[in-house]
Amino acid sequence: MAGPLADVKIIDLTSMISGPLATMTLADQGANVIKVEAPSGDHTRQASGSRGGFSASFLNNNRNKRSLVLDLKKPEGLAALLKLCADADVVIQNFRPGVADRIGVGEEAIRQINSSVIYMSICGFGFDGPYAHRPVFDPLVQALSGLTTVQAGSDQERPRLVRTILPDKLTGIQAAQAITAALYSRSQTGKGQHIQLSMLDTIISFLWSSDMGGHTFVGDETEIEQAQSLIDLVYHTLDGFITIAIQQDKDWRGFARAVYQTGLIDDQRFSTPQMREKNKNVRMEIIQQAVTGFRSAEILKRLEDEDVPCAPVLSRRAMRDNEQVIANDIIIETKHPVAGTLRQARHPAKFSNTPTKIVRGAPERGEHSFELLTEAGFDDDAIHQLEKSGAVFQHQPGEQK
């Protein structure tokens, strides 16, 4: 495969979103990702919104991988997995803490057969502590991390969830970065290591860069977060919504000219960034009143002519046809042999010397089982015995799911 991670072999024991997104990121970058599924398959295969037996969730987190179905509860299935892990560069799992060790695929078991492996464990709340063994889903992490109160605007307002599974997806991105860092370290030292990453740790770290200023200076903490403003930066026009982000003095002057209100330039309430922040609510009300009488295209053109940061507020459908999105070539169409023509986002990073490529769509459950076992050194008789024992499953084309 093309990509900067060509020749990196990854055994992917993960399911749901965080782990599969991490390994798809690495697969898009060229890694040979072997998705090992239980006989029941990744749970997201059953998610709503499907075609040809493939859910959109599974398709959008598992492309460029091959699928191997093994029953790790059977000794033969576990032995087959360990053989595949013997020459792997990375093994990644997102079982609840303690489960991987209990079923025989924990770090110690893998390192006994592959001393230099990068072993990654992903979990929800952490690997120790009173919450470690609790079931976890994205809203729980949003709540425990404080993200819901950040989204609310202040501690007095009703907490609100971010309406996307941010902890899951951000943990996937963080996991992919950590794995590449560990691979680089191994290239320098020859030593593998164990990476532990929790969704809770990921989100708290994420919040600290911009939302925890009141808790940074020890001894001067903010006890109750007050809203700087409960007005967001979305403004309605005659025919839609836009956003305007005024940061510098020149932006304010440009805005005043764009809306034909040059008197705002000399208004002392808005003369400096500090004064504009102090008078945020009044400033935002003035902006709303000023743009209400314009159509979106007209006011955006006037703001752009003044070099004021602005953009239209788009629906997901409208985003697909936006001229900047089209110019970026981020949305692509691919042919899936079962699910048909798919619209997806390409890998976001562009590499000048090692371009990424979509080689295959998300696999059928167990589509590559025999192929992968053959590559691992199993002969036909051994594979037949594994199949007969129920330790391995191979999907056959046209087979009912």
User: In which residue are the tokens 């932006």 written?
Assistant: 251
pTM, 2 dp: 0.95
Please compute the mean of the pLDDT values over residues 135-151 and round it to a whole number.
97
Instruction: State the pLDDT confidence band at 400, using cuts at 50, 70 and 90.
Output: very low
Report the domain count for the chain: 2
Q: Are residues 281 and 179 in the same domain?
A: no
Mean pLDDT for the chain overall: 96
Q: Are residues 129 and 50 in the same domain?
A: yes
Find out whether 110 and 116 touch, Cβ atoms under 8 Å.
no
Q: Are residues 169 and 48 in the same domain?
A: yes
Instruction: State the pLDDT confidence band at 138, using cuts at 50, 70 and 90.
Output: very high
Distance CA 17, CA 172 (A): 7
Please compute the mean of the pLDDT values over residues 268-295 and round it to a whole number.
96
The CATH number of the domain holding residue 160 is 3.40.50.10540
Q: Which helix (H) or strand (E) holds 382?
A: helix 380-389
Identify whether 219 is part of a domain: no
Identify whether 305 is part of a domain: yes
Identify whether 220 is part of a domain: no
- pLDDT at residue number 212: 95
Distance CA 170, CA 204 (A): 11
Domain residue limits at 283: 241-312
Find out whether 189 and 114 touch, Cβ atoms under 8 Å.
no
Q: Are residues 36 and 84 in the same domain?
A: yes
- pLDDT at residue number 1: 56
Last residue of a domain, one of 272, 287, 312: 312
Q: How would you classify the pairing of strands 90-93 and 54-55?
A: unpaired
**Does residue 75 or residue 1 have the better pLDDT?**
75
Task: Reduce the DSSP state of residue 267 to 3 states and report it.
Answer: coil
Last residue of a domain, one of 312, 346, 365: 312
Residue 95's nearest CA partner among 150, 203, 18, 8 is 18
Q: Are residues 180 and 83 in the same domain?
A: yes
Distance CA 163, CA 148 (A): 10
Which of 5-19, 57-71, 200-214, 217-231 shows the lowest per-residue confidence on average (mean pLDDT)?
A: 217-231
Please compute the mean of the pLDDT values over residues 84-88 and round it to a whole number.
98
Last residue of a domain, one of 312, 338, 357: 312
Identify whether 158 is part of a domain: yes
pLDDT at 173 over 50: yes
Q: Are residues 14 and 150 in the same domain?
A: yes
| pLDDT tens-digit readout, 25-38 | 999 999 999 999 99
Full 3-state SS string of 274-317: HHHHHCHHHHHHHHHHHHCCCCHHHHHHHHHHCCCCEEECCCHH
Please compute the mean of the pLDDT values over residues 244-249 and round it to a whole number.
95
Identify whether 236 is part of a domain: no
Identify whether 227 is part of a domain: no
Q: Is the dihedral of CA 67, 72, 76, 79 positive or negative?
A: positive
Please give the distance of CA 400 from its chain centroid, rounded to a whole number: 31
Provide the H-helix boundaries in 114-219.
138-145, 147-152, 166-189, 199-208
Please compute the mean of the pLDDT values over residues 208-225 and round it to a whole number.
95
Can 87 be counted among the known catalytic residues?
no
Distance CA 84, CA 371 (A): 12
Find out whether 154 and 211 touch, Cβ atoms under 8 Å.
no
Distance CA 373, CA 380 (A): 9
Q: Are residues 195 and 251 in the same domain?
A: no
Q: Are residues 277 and 365 in the same domain?
A: no
- pLDDT at residue number 351: 96
Q: Choose the catalytic residue: 168, 211, 232, 267.
A: 168
- pLDDT at residue number 396: 84
- pLDDT at residue number 227: 75
User: In which residue are the tokens 């032995």 written?
Assistant: 79
Please compute the mean of the pLDDT values over residues 155-167 and round it to a whole number.
96
Q: Are residues 171 and 307 in the same domain?
A: no
Q: Are residues 55 and 107 in the same domain?
A: yes
Identify whether 214 is part of a domain: no
Q: Are residues 177 and 77 in the same domain?
A: yes
Identify whether 14 is part of a domain: yes
Please compute the mean of the pLDDT values over residues 262-275 and round it to a whole number.
96
Q: Are residues 256 and 114 in the same domain?
A: no
The CATH number of the domain holding residue 284 is 3.30.1540.10
- pLDDT at residue number 398: 64
